[in-house]
Amino acid sequence: MIEKVEESTASQPTTVPAPRNSWSAWWPGFQRFLGNRKAAAGLVIVLVLVALGVFAPWLTSISPQAQSFVPLRPPSLAHPLGTTAQGQDVWSQFVWGTRASMTVGFAAGFLATAITVIIGMLSGFIGGIGDEALQMLTNVFLVIPGLPLIVVISSYFPFQNNWPLIVIIALTSWSWGARVLRAQVLSMRELPFVEAARMAGERTTAIVFRELMPNMLSLIFSQFLFAVVSAVLTEAGLQFIGLGNIDAVSWGSMLYWAQNDSALMTGAWWWFVPPGVAIGLFGAGLSLINYGLDEITNPRLRARVRRQKRGRPA
Amino acid sequence: MRYILRKVLFYGVALWAAVTLNFVLPRMMPGNPAEILLARFKGRVNPAAIHAFLIAFGLNVHQTLFQQYLSYLGQLVRGNMGISITYYPEPVSQVLAQALPWTLLLIGAATIISFFLGTLAGIVSAWHRGGWFDSFAPGVFTLTSSFPYFWFALLALYFFAYRAGWFPLGEAYSGTRASFAISNWPDLMYHTALPAFTIVFTSIGGWLLSMRNNMITTMGQDYILMARAKGLPRRRVMYQYAARNAILPNMTGFALSLGFIVSGALLTEIVFSYPGLGYTLLQAVQNEDYPLMQGTLLLIAVAVLFANFVVDLLYVRLDPRVRNE
């Protein structure tokens, strides 16, 4: 216990009252995050798209499945994004599709990150034969191409809802992060505070998840963002070739039907463009947040730009 | 030497895992796959083929699971992956042998071009930090690499092939000229250019950004400062001192993201009706052609493993530390 107290005072030299403690630790970090142009731009893009999904029921009163309008109409006041070849409202499909795609993306991303954290951190900490085995497992998953595997699996087990899809995407996408986390744990496991925890007789799992993990949150968060991006892309790709649940409205199934009814060839860009742009913007937004975080945590990436800016009078 | 042995061991295990996964998957299928498959085969196939098929799918009731596994491995070693339903009576191995060269051509060329251009752009971007190229390239390519391959491919197909007519609307060759003879190359290039371009355009950002970050980290090292202080030519410091050391993590990234690239490129093949493995996989899925599907998955996995192995061997050449391990 004594060691633990020392460790916490070492990381936070000024003693502050307990309730303010977490807040005062987070707030400057968050301010720095917003001060980074990339991160702030990414956050805005992602928040707007998330808001579309969250507030879908308030943004449209039309059911995304209702085939009750004149087909293939360009955008108008009644239909901000026009209509599909089946006479559905594209705007309604878009906002509800946003909700569906994000659900899959965040759920699969979360699950993948959980596997990443457990396997990557344990592998790095336990060492020895267990590490070798976990590393082998990670590398096997890393080199086996995910999408063809998912394609084959989903044609064996036709999906009734999104859960099997989420689980499979997570199972095939955790490995890259696990490698990164393992490397980070290796570089941290000999640090004094870990040593202290070990001396205090804490169990391995406690050291890994209570001592190491809080110090790696930004790295884990960045893995999570990447996992979400790749989950959204995988889901869209799978839906696009007609696997997965194409009757549910999502960005991928919108693209599938748009392609199926040759939306581009008939000039119905309002049907084909929005889902693709949304996927692209969402991915770019999350990547921007990631690069922003990278610049904040890795001083080398930003130091020189600042110096140059100061050096050159405007 | 120890490094190479370790790698051989690893790829051995990975190969075994891929092969075994391929054995296990159809057996986890709900319902009775035998009935579905036999119904599709009825009246079209001679009894010997059905028997071979049953064995390939482990539906031989007289064998234990382990015996089935052994005979599956035995068949595989002899290159027997069953008979395709879509292309009956062609064996799966033959269908795949026809598709593989096209995928190697398209994805191979596109990936290598993308890797080189992206890495070069990353070097330039990092070296001229804050310059005009560095201020737009990372941003632009972050955006393009966030878009789904197939979406971008469809747009390119629409604008450059359908509207402008600069490129063919798909396929890998004109008519029946499926030959790799030198005289046929202009036609092959004409067909491969647009799909390859879409892959390069959407995958280049990753190489650029990771190379840029590696370069920036490397450029902070003392030996770079030393090289500059010695008055070495700028180019020499840039390529032989900084880039040469910064490229190692990018090589690893290259190997490891091959699986991801292949996944995206398969969709590009589908968009362009390019007769490679991705297109074959889609056809197999649409026709419920399980033997072909299995074979394609296995071949893709093996190809990616092999490419990784080659990169690992190249690594020995590039990183002397590995040689001395």
Angle between helices B258-271 and B244-256 in degrees, nearest 10 = 60
Q: Which of A66, A58, A81 is nearest to A275 (CA)?
A: A81
Judge if B70 and B124 occupy the same domain: no
Q: What is the CATH number of the domain that holds B98?
A: 1.10.3720.10
Q: How many domains does chain B have?
A: 2
Of the candidates A176, A272, A287, the beta carbon closest to that of B142 is on A287
Average pLDDT score, chain A: 79
Judge if B158 and B280 occupy the same domain: yes
- Contact state of A305 with B129 under an 8 Å Cβ cutoff: yes
Give the pLDDT score at A25.
Answer: 62
Give the pLDDT score at A5.
Answer: 38
Question: Residue B83 forms beta bridges with which residues?
Answer: B91
Q: Is 50 exceeded by the pLDDT of residue B322?
A: yes
Within 8 A of B34 by CB-CB distance, chain A residues are none
The boundaries of the domain holding residue A112 are 83-309
The reply to whether A3 falls in a domain is: no
The reply to whether B273 falls in a domain is: yes
Interchain CB contacts (distance < 8 Å): A and B: 146
The reply to whether A50 falls in a domain is: no
Contact B189, B180 (CB under 8 A): no
Q: What is the CATH number of the domain that holds A93?
A: 1.10.3720.10
Residues of chain A with pLDDT under 50: 1-21, 303-314
Judge if B236 and B125 occupy the same domain: yes
- Contact state of A264 with B217 under an 8 Å Cβ cutoff: no
- pTM, 2 dp: 0.82
Contact A282, A235 (CB under 8 A): no
Single-letter residue type at B170: G
The reply to whether B214 falls in a domain is: yes
Q: Is 50 exceeded by the pLDDT of residue B259?
A: yes
Residue B177: pLDDT band (50, 70, 90) is low
- Tokens found for residue A189: 């496991």
Q: Is 70 exceeded by the pLDDT of residue B260?
A: yes
Scanning every residue of chain A, which has its alpha carbon at the shortest distance from the alpha carbon of B12? Answer: A140
For chain A, the distance separating the N- and C-terminal CA atoms, rounded to the nearest angstrom, is 55
The reply to whether B117 falls in a domain is: yes
d(CA B322, CA A102): 43
Question: Which residue has better confidence, B180 or A168?
Answer: A168
Judge if B43 and B171 occupy the same domain: no
Task: Give the pLDDT mean for B90-105.
Answer: 88
Percentage of chain B beyond pLDDT 90 is: 7
- Where do the H-state alpha helices sit in chain A? 2-11, 18-35, 37-54, 56-59, 90-126, 128-143, 146-156, 163-173, 175-188, 192-199, 204-206, 217-240, 251-260, 269-297, 300-311
The reply to whether A36 falls in a domain is: no
Judge if B268 and B184 occupy the same domain: yes
Give the pLDDT score at B39.
Answer: 66
The boundaries of the domain holding residue B295 are 93-324
- Contact state of B308 with A149 under an 8 Å Cβ cutoff: no
Q: Quick one: which H or E segment has residue B280?
A: helix B277-286
Q: How many domains does chain A have?
A: 1
Give the pLDDT score at A22.
Answer: 52
Kindly report, residue by residue over A210-241, the tens digit of the pLDDT: 888 887 887 888 889 989 998 998 888 888 88
Kindly report, residue by residue over A252-286, the tens digit of the pLDDT: 888 888 888 877 778 788 888 899 999 999 999 99
CA A266, distance to chain mean position in Å, is 35
Q: Is 90 exceeded by the pLDDT of residue B210?
A: no
Judge if B188 and B306 occupy the same domain: yes
Judge if B66 and B128 occupy the same domain: no
Contact A177, A120 (CB under 8 A): yes
Within 8 A of B259 by CB-CB distance, chain A residues are 142-146
Q: Is 60 exceeded by the pLDDT of residue B146?
A: yes
Give the pLDDT score at A305.
Answer: 46
Scanning every residue of chain A, which has its alpha carbon at the shortest distance from the alpha carbon of B210? Answer: A291
Min Cα distance B217 → chain A (Å) is: 7
Give the pLDDT score at A67.
Answer: 78
Give the pLDDT score at B138.
Answer: 82
